[in-house]
Chains A and B, each alone.
Chain A
Amino acid sequence: MHQGPDPRQDPPPDLRRTLVRQSERALAIEPLLLSPELDIVDGLLEAAGRPETRVIGVVDPDGHLVGILPIAELVTAVLGRLMPEAFLSDISDITQAAEFGHAVRARRIGEAMLPPISVRPEASVAEALHLMHERNLSGLYVVDIDGRPTGYLDLLELAASVMEQTRSGTSQGPSAIGAPGSASQPLGDPRHRPSS
């Protein structure tokens, strides 16, 4: 028997009025920020130590976000050179061909990264969701007015907190999704809160 929330029947939280900075649970995962000069293999090993962060933020020496690197792209860049057959067989259009070509050329993180995509803390959760969906990203960096990352918004955590909020039935209004004091508390799973 289905026990969870049914999005078809339960009223959804008002994501257009909920701000990114209020999405505490979705922001619980720490950003993984790397230098563009870092070797892609070292980057892969760093990312492997932080499996909960699925999009790497690439920052310049001043801490500005200069690019992003989804884990899947990084894996293609590293393994695409070692075992290209595994990736070549799936290519059937120009976009896939270009992405593979871009990835296998990279030696450093800066060469593999994609242009920066980020949101401001005062953006709405709906905008962030739309951006992640549109760009096929599983995470998004939240940046300050100078473009420095201040947090990492995880798609899965965001979705989970939205569903918890829906299930709690207190979804209307700009309450923090999963924030303490709201009807839905963030999960306390330590895997989601890595210590730095």
Chain B
Amino acid sequence: MEPALAAGIFLLTYALIATDRLDRTAVALAGGLAMVAFGVIDQAEAFAAIDLNVIFLLAGMMILAGILRRTGFFQWIAIRVIRLSGGEPVRLLVMLSIVTAVLSAFLDNVTTVVLVAPVTLYVASVLSLSAIPFLVAQILASNIGGSATLIGDPPNILIGSASGLDFNAFLFNMAPVSILILVVFLVIAPVLFRSQLRGSGSGADVLLALDEAAVITDPALLRRALIVLGFTVLGFVLQGPLGLETATIALLGATVLLLVTRVDPEPAFREVDWPTLFFFVGLFMLVEGLVATGIVRAVGESLVEMTGGEPVPTTLGLLWLSGIASGFIDNIPYTVTMIPVVEQLGQSGVAIEPLWWSLALGACLGGNATIVGASANVVAANLSARAGQPIGFVAFLRMGLIVTFLSLVISTVYVWVRYLL
């Protein structure tokens, strides 16, 4: 009875999240609490399942990014890049994509996209071009860049915390393939968008006259924020020797920044995306219900049976399953659900590290397939529509499917050559 009940609660919660008709945080919390209310797990088990390392790592990075966003830093970089590009549309598309990817690797994707987007909208307006190819390229680059590091994308944060793989492990294993995918993307993006990048040639002189220094609102705050952010990233790199968890480093960075800048902590804490954090809380409790009733073990065992426990089909199958699933359902609940499945596969004798990289690559890069595949996509589409330049579902899908397919093919070759040969 209990497994059927747990499966029912889980599937209903997933379906409600997928339909997007109700708030996803409320639905996830309801699902998680239903597991407790119906006796699938007790409260102690539910609360113990909440990965506080994930919650506090996210909260710490949100505070850091929230303070940084008030300095004009993102706009400064975007304007600097615009001037360096000389106002030439293809160069602009490539350079703004690189900036977005690099920022997304260290800061949250949504913040990056939201703060680079207004500069992009301005540039497109001055050049009398549609902003859509630039924004779509930035969304795609943001998800590719986010896959490169442990702190770049929520699926990586979840996987890093569950697997014990540290910042450097992600850097050495994920960054090479992310850079390769970004390079391929930057080569094909101008081709994919070529018809929309032909402007009248006017307006470049206006862009060259922009003054990036004028967007810095508080140079002293910016300096301090960048120094603290630099030390925080260094802390992640030295995580092993320091013997600290990632959440401790992120919270330490946020706290030091609050102390050295003396900014009012109240608005800084308001920058924390509490609905997302409670979304995680609900999902952790929800999936614990599945784990406790043995459903996850059964799924893992059937996967091993299907692939015969062979590492190549199991690992690459997971990569493609994750890539396809993440295009259509939120990659956060997907990853939370798949983590215990991967742990089960590992216990069944399949080499576990390639499985973690496959899950991370599939979950992060699959988000590029559709406009609803990742939070940055949804937010950028919303912003673009409100600014009068709606990104159509089909228009995005055309680009998203091509880029996702190429990303998964490159990832397949990478995982196979590096871990499975």
Q: Footprint of B on A, CB under 8 Å?
A: 80-81, 84-86, 88-102, 104-105, 111
Contact = CB atoms under 8 A, between A and B. Distances in A.
Contact of B389 (A94, A96, A101): A101
Contacts of B379: 94
24 contacts: A81-B126, A84-B122, A85-B210, A86-B214, A88-B72, A88-B79, A89-B214, A89-B215, A94-B382, A94-B383, A94-B386, A96-B118, A97-B121, A98-B382, A100-B118, A101-B117, A101-B121, A101-B387, A101-B389, A102-B386, A104-B121, A104-B122, A104-B125, A111-B388
Contact of B383 (A84, A85, A86, A98): A98
Given A94-B379, A94-B382, A104-B122, 7 more contacts: A85-B214, A97-B117, A97-B387, A100-B122, A101-B383, A104-B125, A105-B121
A88 B118 contact: yes
A93 B114 contact: yes
A84 to B, nearest CB: 5
Contacts of A81: 122, 125-126
B31 to A, nearest CB: 27
A39 to B, nearest CB: 15
A29 to B, nearest CB: 30
Contact of A80 (B75, B122, B211, B217): B122
B69 interface: yes
Nearest to B386: A98
Contacts of A100: 118, 121-122, 387
A134 to B, nearest CB: 18
Given A98-B386, A101-B383, A104-B122, A89 B114 contact: no
A98 B217 contact: no
A96 B131 CA distance: 17
Interface in B46-101: 69-70, 72, 75, 79
- Give me the 3 closest cross-chain CB pairs, A-B, nearest first: A101-B387, A101-B121, A98-B386
A80 B114 CA distance: 18
A94 B376 CA distance: 11
Interface in B192-231: 210-212, 214-217
Nearest to A84: B122
Interface in B109-132: 114-115, 117-119, 121-122, 125-126, 131
Given A94-B382, A94-B383, A105-B125, A88 B119 contact: yes
Contacts of A86: 214
Nearest to A82: B206
Contacts of B211: 85
B75 A101 contact: no
Contact of B210 (A84, A89, A93, A95): A84
Report whether over half of chain B's contact residues are helix, strand or loop; otherwise say mixed. Answer: helix
B115 A105 contact: no
Contacts, number: 82
Given A85-B79, A101-B387, A92 B122 contact: no
Contact of B387 (A84, A88, A105): A105
A85 B389 CA distance: 22
Given A88-B122, A89-B214, A91-B75, A101 B382 contact: no
Given A85-B210, A104-B122, A98 B70 contact: no
A84 B75 CA distance: 11
Nearest to A93: B114
A18 B386 CA distance: 36
A91 B214 CA distance: 13
A89 B387 contact: no
A96 B386 CA distance: 10
A101 B214 contact: no
Nearest to A80: B122
Contacts of A105: 121, 125, 387-389
Given A101-B117, A101-B389, A89 B383 contact: no
Interface in B164-216: 210-212, 214-216
Given A97-B117, A101-B388, A111-B388, A85 B125 contact: no
A102 B388 contact: yes
Nearest to A112: B388
A95 B210 CA distance: 23
Interface centre among A92, A98, A101, by most chain B C-beta atoms within 10 angstroms, is A101
Contact of B131 (A85, A93, A99, A101): A101
A85 B215 contact: yes
Nearest to A92: B69
A91 B115 contact: yes
A88 B382 contact: no
A172 to B, nearest CB: 41
A38 to B, nearest CB: 18
A111 B131 CA distance: 16
Nearest to B124: A105
Interface in B361-399: 379, 382-384, 386-389
A153 B297 CA distance: 67
